[in-house]
Chains A and B, each alone.
Chain A
C-alpha cells in the first residue's frame, strides 16, 4: 500500500476523480449534460487505450461496440417513451414502426414489422442495460478468437474491424422498419433507478456517469496491473516469445478485446441516457478514427491519459465551434494536432506528464551543490 500511494499515478487518478465529482458545484445542468457526454467519450478513449496501448491492437471499428451499447439502451428507452404508449395498443410500440408497418399488420411488437419481435425483451430497461455491455463483449470475444486465432495481427486487424463497423452501419441504416434507419432512435424515455428517473439535464444523471467512469477507470487500471495485464503487454511486444513461454496468446488478446468492447458498450449506453438518441453516425468510420485520435493525443499507453485526451479534445472542439470561422478549420486543426503528436509525442500528453514527473521525482536526490551545477 505504501508503494501504491508513493506513486504519482495514483494521485493523478484521485485528482481526476475529485475534479469530475466536484464539477456540479460550479456548473449548471446544461453544461453538466454536455460534460457528461464528454465523460462517455473519455470512457471510450480508455477502452481504445486498453487494446491499442496495452495489446497493440489498433481497432478502427471501436464505434461498433459503442453503437451496439447505444442502440441496446435506446431500444429500451424508446419503449419507455410517452409516444410508444400512444400507438393504440396495450404494450409499447415505437412510433416509427407504425409508419413502416405493412397495411393491416397488428400493432404489437410481435409482428408489426419484420423482426420487430427482437424488441420484445427490451421492454425491460435492465435487458437494455445488460445487452449493452454483454453483447459487445461476447461479440468481441468471438471475433477475437477468430481473428487472433488465425494469427492475424497489425494492420489487418484494423482493416477487418473497420470493415465490420461499416458493414454494421449498412445493415442498421438498411433495416428501417427495425432501427428507423438513418434517423436513428430519438424521442426516448428516461432510465429509472430505484424510482428515480434519470433526467439527462440533472445533477443526479451527471453523477451516475461520473461515478461509472471513475469505477471503470479504476478497475481497468487494476486489470492492466495484474499479471495478466503484464502478459498482455508481453504479447504486444512479441507474440511469438509469449507463445513459446506457453501462453495461449489469442486467449489473452480476445479477453482484453472483449473487456474493451464491454467498456465501449457501457459508454454507448450511458451516452444514450445523457444525449437521448442513438444514431448510425456512431457507426461511421470518422467516429471510430476520432476515438483513436483522442487516445493518441492523451497517450495510448495510459488508461487515464487517453480518457483525459478525449475529454479535453471535446471541450476544445465545443469552444472552437462557438466561433463561426473556426468550425470549418476544426478538422484541419485536429488533424494537424494528431500528426504533431504522432511525430513528436508518440506517448501523448500522458507520456509528457510521465517524463516530467520522473524528472521531478529524481530531482530531490541531487545535493544542493549538484542542483546549483545543474542550473548552470
Chain B
C-alpha cells in the first residue's frame, strides 16, 4: 500500500516574474489523505490548478501512479484518474441530483459511447449507494441549482466518488459550512480515505485534526514543513509563517 499515487517533482509556475508555486516536491501514497495548509495566497489553489491542468506549469513534473501527466489537457488528466473539487462549489445546476451523478460516472467519456439511454444496473446501484452516502436520496430528483450550500458541496463530493477518481483534490471543502455540515463532511471524507488518495486544502484546524494524518505546509509557493498534526502545530517556522500570531488556530 506504500505505492505513490501522486508525485510532484519541483513543480513551479511563473506568472510573468511572480512564482506563485515555486519548486514544490511531494509524494502522496496510495490511499493517503494529505492536508495542504498555508496562509492566504500561499499558492494552494494554484498548486491544484497545476496538478489538474487548469494552469500550465513552467517547471517540474506531475506523476499520477507513475504516469507523467504534466501540462496535459484537463480532460486527459481527469481520465488519468484525477478528480477535483473547486473552492467555489460547481455542480450542473440545470440537472437533477441524480443526473449530476450520472454525468459524473464518466468511465466511457466518448460522445458515441454515450448515445445510449441508461446506465447498466450495476452502475445504477452504485449511484443509489452514493446518494445514500452523501445523504441526498430524498433530493435525487431535485434540480441541483436549488440545493443548499452544504448539499451542493456533498453532491460534488458524491460526484468525485462516482467518478472513481483515484486522486481527489479538494479545495476548502468546508468553506461556509455550519458546524453540523462540517462534521458530516468530515465523515464523508473519512470514508473516501483508503480507497482514494486525497489532497485537501483546509483552514479549519479542528476539521484538519479530524481528518489528517500528514500535513504539508506551503508558504510563498514553497514547502515549508511536512509531518503529522502534532509536529506541524509545534513547528516554529510554521508558527512564524502564520504571522507569528497565535500559531495556527
Contact = CB atoms under 8 A, between A and B. Distances in A.
Given A228-B111, A252-B111, A234 B92 contact: yes
Nearest to A254: B111
A289 interface: no
Contacts of B103: 227, 230-231, 234, 242, 245
B91 A245 contact: no
Contact of B52 (A223, A244, A249, A255): A244
Interface string B99-131: 110111010011110111111000000000000
A228 B114 contact: yes
Contact of A230 (B54, B78, B91, B102): B102
A240 B84 CA distance: 11
Contact of A227 (B52, B94, B117): B117
A245 B94 CA distance: 17
A249 B106 CA distance: 12
Nearest to B103: A234
B159 interface: yes
Given A234-B95, A236-B94, A238-B91, A245 B163 contact: yes
Contacts, number: 88
Contacts of B104: 245
Interface string A8-32: 0000000000000000000000000
A249 B94 contact: no
Contact of A226 (B54, B99, B106, B117): B117
B116 A249 contact: no
Nearest to B89: A241
A352 interface: no
A233 B94 contact: yes
Which range holds the interface residue count of chain A?
Answer: 20 to 34
Contact of B116 (A226, A247, A255): A226
B74 interface: yes
Contacts of A174: none
A92 B162 CA distance: 62
B117 A244 contact: no
Given A241-B90, A246-B75, A246-B78, A233 B159 contact: no
Interface of A: 223, 225-228, 230-231, 233-234, 236-238, 240-249, 251-252, 255
30 contacts: A223-B115, A227-B115, A227-B117, A227-B119, A228-B112, A228-B114, A228-B115, A230-B95, A230-B103, A233-B92, A234-B95, A236-B94, A237-B91, A238-B92, A238-B93, A241-B91, A242-B92, A243-B75, A243-B78, A244-B74, A244-B75, A245-B75, A245-B78, A245-B109, A245-B159, A245-B163, A246-B78, A248-B109, A248-B110, A252-B111
